[in-house]
Structures are given as C-alpha cells and as structure tokens.
Structure 1
C-alpha cells in the first residue's frame, strides 16, 4: 500500500480527481449525475457554509441523521475539508437509544433529513448541546420548514456559500468520522476514525479486487454504515470510478437497479445475498454487466454457484469498523477456498488466540485478533472510553470478539461471534442495549436477549422475560414499548416468560442455556410475526 494514499485527506483526494477527471461522473443518484469537479466545488460550498454561517470549526462534531442522499456525501466531504468530524447515526435509531447517541457523541450541530426530524425533537428540546439543526429535504418534502417549534436552517442555505477551498490545514491523522458500533457488554462505542483509515480501506479494496476508473460501483446499503461508506464509496473515490447510490435495499428492485445503472460491482451483507438470489426471475441477464459482488460473510462454493453461473466473481473480506480489511478474498482465488474471508495481506497481521491470548495453530478455532503493519489504518480509539479501548488491545492485538481459524495457506474462516451480539438483516444488535431498554418496562424485572435462527440465514431476536411479582405480561404491550424506544430491526420477534433466568454464582446470565433451550422449543415461543404485529420504520 503506498503511503501517499494513506497519508492523505479526503479533500486532497477529491481535489486531485477534480483536476484530473473533473467531467467524469462521481455520483449517480435517482437519475441525477454529479461530476468529480462538482463534488469538489460543492463540498467547498458546504464547508464554507458550515464555517461561516454555523461556526463549525476544526475538531467539532457534526451529527448526520440522514438516509441515502447526495447531501450525506457533500456533508462528509465538507466536514473533512474543515477538519471537523462527521458522526453518522443509524436512521432507525429513536427514543432512548437516539438520545444516548446524540448526547455521548457531543455533536453541536445536527444535519437531519426532514422526515427524521421528529425522532430527535424530544432530545433537542431538552438539551442545549446542539445549537444548530440543518434540515435536508426528504423524498417528498422541501426541507425548508421547522418542526414542533424548533428553529431550523435549510441545507440549501449552506450551498450558496463560495466554492473556493476553505483553506483549513487538515492532516491525515485528524479524525474524520465518529462511527458507532453496537455494544455487547456495554453501551454502543464511538469509533474515532482518522482520514487515513477510510482512505486506506478504499485503497486496499480497490487494489485487492482490481477496480478501475471504468467501474460502476452500486450500493443500496445505508451510507451511515461502514460497508457503503468505506467499502463502496471510498474505493470508487480512490480509483476514480462512478458510485451509484440507491435510497434503500429492495429485493424486488435490486436486479433492475443493477441492470439499469450498468453496475460492474456491488456488495451484499448477510441475508441480502439469499434474498436477491430468490429474485433472479426478475433479472434481464442480457443486460447484466456485473462482474463482481462482495458478499460478507462469504458464501461457500454451493451457495455462490448461482452468481458464478452468471459470470459474477465473488469476493469477500474480514473487517470491522475499528479496523481495516484484515483479509481479502479476491476475484481470482482458488475455488476450493470459497467460503473463506480471504488471505492475510502485508499491511496487516492476523492471529487466532485462545482465552489466554496464546497463539493457536492452523485449523484451531479461537478469537480472531488483528493489528496493523502500516500506521494510520486503524481507529484511534473509542470516543471517551479509554478503558474499553485498552481492553480490546490487550497483548498488543485488537480483539475482534469473533471466532474463526486460519488454514495452512493463510486463509481466514469465520466461525461465529464470541461477543454477545445479534446480527439481523445486516445490522449488529447490542443485546445489552436491547435488554437495558426493554427492562425499563414497568411489568418486567429482568430480560435476556439471545439470537435464534432466522429463515433468511442470519439471526432473529428472542427475549426471555421475568415479570415483576403479581404482574401479568402483555406481549403486544411489550412490543409496542420496544417499537417506541428502539430501531425496528432491534425489536424482538420472539418473547418467552420464565420464572427466573439461569445464572452463574457471580450472577452472570448463562445465555448459552437459553440458546440451547430455544433450539429445542421454538414452537413454544410467542412470535410477533405470527401474531400479525408490525413495527414502524
């Protein structure tokens, strides 16, 4: 990896492309094309508008509560040119969880999509930490009005600022993102990511998979998520390709959108791959230009055969928000390595450790641990969580909390999650946060959330409940409480009542017993989908 790429900033990279390929389309969104030159100039306007009209300075944290839209990227680029920090929030966050994220991140300005503003109103009224709210038009609105008496500014007010560079000295070491990753033994943690981390990921992926300026990278994943932001946008930017962004994933529209935009590459997370394979009847194969699809976790040879039969080469990797692409499975790997996350590359080290941090031999399953061999390609730490930062770095390895093994050829195979996390519809769910929220219901004494199998290949959520004495639990009421206070994907599908939770002598819940019991008793669980209860998005 050339240090010149790592030791750059987002503004420098965008500026170079504006000079070298200014007329080339960088972003395509809902029929609108934006060139590299436009992206550079327009992000200058946003940067100058934020500085001059909102008083955003280097180091300030600015929240982004935005769905997929061009304004998301103009904000990211503009903040990067100011040396300010973009804090993207999951657009499904609401209630207590959104309040925690807004408070913990110390954002002083919030850029919010018009349709999502009501979710933040309660926090904004109670707290004076956020001094400016900037509203981006939603799919059907104009973004001009306030809401509920709140004073807001339209995003368009930033866009009439001068398009000259803001002239702020920014280093590759400066934080560019504060990205929240689901907590497992505590609250969600904010990953402090410098410019060099995201740019290095883009270079790793573009180089490892052979992307060129002629490629068209399509993503329907949310830009607030590391996959779309770092593993689609950044590679496109680094190699001067075109990025096509869809507003959201739709199984029924996926292949049509891929064909219509002429995509040559796309990414799929978790259950997405299974869903789109069921929609192949909608695909006009005569128009398909897709040559690569990155699938995480990797598909084995049998599961990936339908892609390969269409001439689509599958790629994969192992990565986390805190790290980089620790391994890469490229388009030309041997067929017998299908299902692996790829090989360890020179810019990183990967080890498999036992519970005492001792190195395990090839083929032995343990915790996957990584560390960088190049400076600047990893997080700087968890925001205002020094204990948690140090805890993940014991023995000078970053402990991922995932289990896997390396084969004799250095290919990494993911096995399962050591952490108490649940992965559902491509989202990581913190069992701890879910439990903390649901346990606040007045009818409940305790709650334990565990993963159970889903028909779509990832996890569904089971919560085992213990009632307060002499209280009757109404399942529909519990779901309504969850729906009001957590993202839709976190709301449990299954509920079950226990007299008490199984615990160790130190009062730790023995969740493995709950998971084992659930496997044998799925037919006894109350299922909100069978009950016909829908949650809001």
Structure 2
C-alpha cells in the first residue's frame, strides 16, 4: 500500500522552486507581515522579502554569479542571512550554510569540499577566513555585513571585498533565470560518522518540500507566529521553521540566538504561538525557577527533539502542547508526534509523515517483528522530497541507500499502533547541546599536533544528561603536552562546541586485532572511574565562540 502523498499547498511539482513559491506568496499575501528581527525590531512583509531578495539576486548576477555557483554563508541569525539564501536560489546558485563556529582546519575543509567561490559573512568572521586564505584559492570574492566588530586585515590577498549593502543596489525585477525543481539549491553539511562532514545535496524542490512537510504535519496556521532561536545554518530552523511558516502564510519572530534568560521574554513580546527547541535547551528552561507567570505565554505548540522525561509536567507548567518527530537532513523528515496523537504515545517519535514509509530491519536488511529494536530505514515517494545524496561522495550515498531504503544508522522499534520509538544511534557521532559532532573530525584535527601520536574521541554523559566530548590521547614518545595546551590547540582549530571537555593521557589504548581502538571500553572505564578524566570545566578553562 502506497503512503499518502505530501500536501503541496496547491503547487504543481514543476512549481516547487524557491523563486516561484516566493514570488507567488508575495503576490497572494502582499503586505502581510512575515518576518520580525527581535534584535533590532526590523519587520518585513511577504512583498518586501520578495523585492529585497530580487535586488540581492540581480546584484549577484551583475557580479558574475549564476547557475551552479557555490556561495558559503557564515552568519549568526539575522534577516540578511535568510535573504541571501533566497536570493541565491533565485539565480540558480547553491548556498552553503556554514556553522558560524567553524574555523581553522574545519573551515578549510568545508569551503574546499563544497567548491565555494564566494562567501557572504558578518565582519566578526572575516578574520577566520583571512587566516586560511592560502588554503582556499577558489574563493574570489566576499560580501561583508558589519556587525559592530573591527574588520580583519585583508591586504595580503586578492579577494574582491564589498559591503553587504552593495547587494541591495540591484533591480527589483525578478531575475531572468528560472531554476528547475530538481536543480541543486543547497549543500547542508552534517557531521560525518566514519569520516569528514558530508554535504547533503538539497534540490529546489527539497527545500520547498521541507516547508510543506513541517507546515502540514505540525499543523501550522496562517495566524501563527513561529519563534526561531535555533541557528539558520541548520535545517531545523531554516527549512522547517522559516520555510514552514512561509508555506503556511504565517509569520516568523527571529531571535539572534537562544538565551535561557531571554527566551520567555522574546516569546511573549513577539506573540509567538509555535516554536522548535532541542532537548538540551528544554532541560535548561525546565531547570529555571518556577514562577506563577509561567503559563502566561502565547505558545500553543512547542516541537522538541528528543522528548524529555518531564514532558507532561512541562506542558502543565507552561500551558502548551509538545510535539516531536524523527528525521535527518541526510534524507527527510520521517515521522511526527503531533497534537492529534494520543497522550499515551508521548515520548515516541510518532507515525510516518505523508509520503514516507518506515521499517525496522536487522543486519541482513530483513524486516523484524513489531516491538523489536533494529535499524530504522526510510523510503519516500515524494518527488524531490529527500536529499539527493552526499555531495562528491557517491560511495556513501549508495551504501546508505541500499536495497531501495535509506539506512539511517539509528536504532528503534515500531509499536503495534505504528508509532516509532527511538532507541539509540549506531553512528559514531557525539550529540552535544544540539550539535552533531564527528569524532573523526575531532581526531583528525588533534592528530595535526606534533606531540600527539594517536587519539580517540567519544561521548561521555555529564550534567543535563547529554553528551560531552571526551578524548583519550597517546603522545609521541619523548614528547610532552599538558591538557591545557591540548585545549588551546583544539580551540584554535575547531568549532568551540567540538573542543573536548574531558582529556585522558594514556600509554596506549585498548584495540581490536586489526588495531581499531575499542572506544566502548574507553567510555566504560571513564564512566566507572571519573577520576581518570581531566575536566576542562573543573579546571576553569573557558572556550570562547
């Protein structure tokens, strides 16, 4: 039996491109409010978003950017970041959202692997680019948005550097280019598990499909305001929240970033009715002192992944409904636990979304009985509704998509009513405060230090029941390295959230017969005796963004 097709809000398949949908929504909604930037109060209507992004698109075309060119975007949440993604899609260019914490070796890899030729960033991050200029010769130009910080010295390179405002000088007429629904629109990088971060190839239709899926299954309404405090360089915020609101004719209240102390104040001031948070964020909000005013907020729905154990109490305390789901940028949004689901299923990831099938299989890819834990595999019959594979990595794409099903690397089970219950991750990744961290990338960076002979990175549970990055390190014979020196090296060469918290120096590590490090034993030893691990936070060493 085929799964029900996704609701596309009246658009034919050929029309599901960013430029067509943005123009159509602007025509239909006109001066209806769409976006408010809470940091400075700027507001934009549907029509203004369309015209501004036309100007940026045409200015980019005037500077030689066009179909198939890859442009990296390195910003914290702001309207200009969203406008840039829309404008690039309008001219058929490919946006490469970068985590603004990336630097050093990691930043070099992302820019080089993505074939980036132009970068749009805030001035605060220009220095990180100049530090690695020699390693990314393909970049020919940069647009810089002032953010109140000093501008880095760029005199030593040949880049064409222009202020972001120069992009606002283009014509308001729609660009002449008309990308097709299957044209590449975005490379969304997610953490590698057995190798470097992978770039997920998202077509024009995929971007729109994410918005349709979210709006339909999460029940967005045209009178909703979606509060967005997650970073727009992640699919959750950009493709689900913002594009979901766009498809539902709703509004967005955009925060600069998540803040425990400022969260409820922004929600109340913006009148937000819907939001998305991560489990670690909810832990902090739940741990804040209770107040008689907790229920005095406009939220009706909050999407959270994973669902916390205190979910029912959270709903009662703050007077809202929690929803959840399961999905991955590598493929699609797969299941949803919505407001229509029975409360007895709270804690599950819900049932399959429109057009998606879910199975649980064993190591031989045979479907296993209800209630048994196995690997979660997915299949979608929504054209262009999934990632089109890993960029420049056909081998990994084929391996994941074997036997006609996408293999997630995650484990779970289906109950008798068809609800998915997540069990654990097969993947060698570390989940810390909403960020998926590749242990391989942590290890690769640290191995560049001349005193380090071998290193293994793995997760350790700490406060708030979430993972922290731990490393066991073997030094080169005769070399010396302190924990603080290791942290300083890591801080200079990787994103702040990847920097290890726990460090253990060892003469050697437990290994298999083929010399693979047995990380599970390292983790077991550390959990059994915490004194084995040096703790960065206990040592008072702070890692800055």
Structure 1 residue corresponding to 2:55, chosen from 41, 45, 50: 45
- Find the partner of 2:383 among 375, 378, 395: 375
**1:511 aligned partner:** 519
Q: Does 1:61 align with 2:101?
A: no
The answer for the alignment partner of 2:3 in structure 1 is none
Contact 2:19 2:178 in 1 (8 A): no
Deviation string, structure 1 residues 202-244 (Cα, Å, up to 9, x no partner):
1112111221110000011100011101121111010111111
Q: What is the Cα deviation at residue 280 of structure 1? A: 5.4
What's the counterpart of residue 322 of structure 1?
A: 330
Match of 2:215 among 193, 206, 226: 206
Correspondence for 1:422: 430
* DSSP 3-state at the match of 2:324: strand
Match of 1:356 among 340, 347, 364: 364
| Preserved contact between residue 108 and residue 135 of structure 2 (Cα < 8 Å) | no
Secondary structure of 2:333's counterpart equals coil
Partner of residue 90, structure 2: 81
Equivalent in 391, 397, 401 of residue 399 of structure 2: 391
**For residues 161 and 308 of structure 1, do their structure 2 counterparts lie closer, same or farther at Cα, with a shift above 3 Å needed?**
same
Q: Secondary structure at the match of 1:381?
A: coil
Closer/same/farther in 2, CA of residues 37 and 146 from structure 1, 3 Å limit: farther
Match of 1:438 in 2: 446
Distance 1:485 1:146, change over 3 A: closer
8 Å contact 2:53–2:83 — kept in the other structure? yes
Match of 1:197 in 2: 206
Counterpart of 1:32 in structure 2 is 42
1:533 aligns with 2:537: no
Contact 2:279 2:305 in 1 (8 A): yes
Match of 2:498 in 1: 490
What is residue 25 of structure 2 aligned with on the other side?
A: 17
SS in 2 for 1:152: strand
CA distance in 1, matches of 2:481, 2:134: 33
Q: What whole-Å deviation, never above 9, does each CA across 1:362-399 have from its counterpart, x for those lacking one? A: 11111111111222111111111111111111121111
Shift, 1:471, TM fit: 2.3
Change (3 A) 1:286 1:463: closer
How is 1:210-359 mapped onto 2 (pairs within 5 angstroms)?
A: 210-279=219-288, 281=290, 284-285=293-294, 287-300=296-309, 302-359=310-367
Name the counterpart of 1:169.
Answer: 178
Q: Which residue of 112, 123, 133 corresponds with 1:124?
A: 133
Return the offset for 1:125: 4.1
Q: 1:142 to 1:217 in 2, by over 3 A?
A: farther
Are residues 500 and 378 of structure 1, via their aligned partners in 2, closer, same or farther at CA, if it must alter by over 3 Å?
same
Match of 1:92 among 101, 120, 123: 101
Q: Deviations over 1:179-215 (max 9, x none)?
A: 1110110111110001211211211121112211100
Q: Distance in 2 between matches of 1:531 and 1:379?
A: 43
C-alpha contact 1:6 1:200 (8 A) present in aligned 2: no
1:168 is paired with a residue whose SS is coil
**Cα RMSD (Å):** 1.6
Match in the other structure for 1:412: 420
8 A contact 2:127–2:153 mirrored in 1: no
**Distance in structure 2 (CA, Å) of the matches to 1:492 and 1:446:** 15
| Whole-Å separation in 1 of the counterparts to 2:177 and 2:277 | 37
Bigger mean CA offset, 480-489 vs 514-523: 514-523
Give the TM-score, by structure 2 length.
Answer: 0.95
Matched, 1:70 2:69: no
Q: Shift of the alpha carbon at 1:497?
A: 1.5
Asked if the contact 2:217/2:353 (under 8 Å) is kept, the reply is no
Change (3 A) 1:378 1:280: farther
Offset of residue 523 of structure 1: 2.8
Q: 1:499 aligns with which of 507, 513, 530?
A: 507
Moved more, 29-38 or 467-476: 467-476
1:508 CA displacement: 1.6
Cα drift, residue 146 of structure 1: 6.4
Distance 1:130 1:203, change over 3 A: same
Inter-CA distance 477–146: structure 2 relative to 1 (3 Å threshold)? closer
Segments of 5+ residues of structure 1 without an aligned counterpart are: none
In structure 2, relative to structure 1, the CA distance for the partners of 1:120 and 1:354 (3 Å cut) is same
Q: Secondary structure at the match of 2:173?
A: coil
2:464 is paired with a residue of what secondary structure?
coil
Separation in 2, partners of 1:271, 1:36: 33
How many pairs were matched up?
533
What is the alpha-carbon distance in structure 2 between the residues aligned to residue 506 and residue 498 of structure 1?
20
Give structure 2 stretches of 5+ with no counterpart: 1-5
Q: TM-score, normalised by structure 1?
A: 0.96
Structure 2 CA distance for aligned equivalents of residues 379 and 434 of structure 1:
26
